[in-house]
Amino acid sequence: MMTEAQREIMRHTLGLNRRDSEYRNHFVTGPGSADYPHCEAMVAAGLMEKRTGNVLSGGDDIYSVTDAGRAALKVPNAH
């Protein structure tokens, strides 16, 4: 079960907080951020996947919503 904070993170990741349809799929956060434990929990649940950060992300990890995450949000796969 997703918390409301996790649902909002996933909506933001997909760009659904600004548009009615998905136009991106990335969220950058790292240890010390309030969002980080939520993203880690969603990775463990299979709702998001995690890539190691890089120079463009300031070293923070990069998260993306999986198809299972889209299904949990009831958002069709747009890619």
77 pLDDT higher than 70: no
pTM beyond 0.85, yes or no: yes
Residue type, 1: M
How far, in Å, CA of 46 to CA of 56, rounded? 25
- Spell out the domain ranges in the chain: 4-73
pLDDT digits (tens, 9 = 90+) for 47-75: 999 999 999 898 999 999 999 999 998 86
CATH number 1.10.10 is the correct assignment for the domain at 4-73: yes
Distances in Å between the Cα of 73 and the Cα atoms of 39, 45, 62, 77 are 15, 14, 20, 11
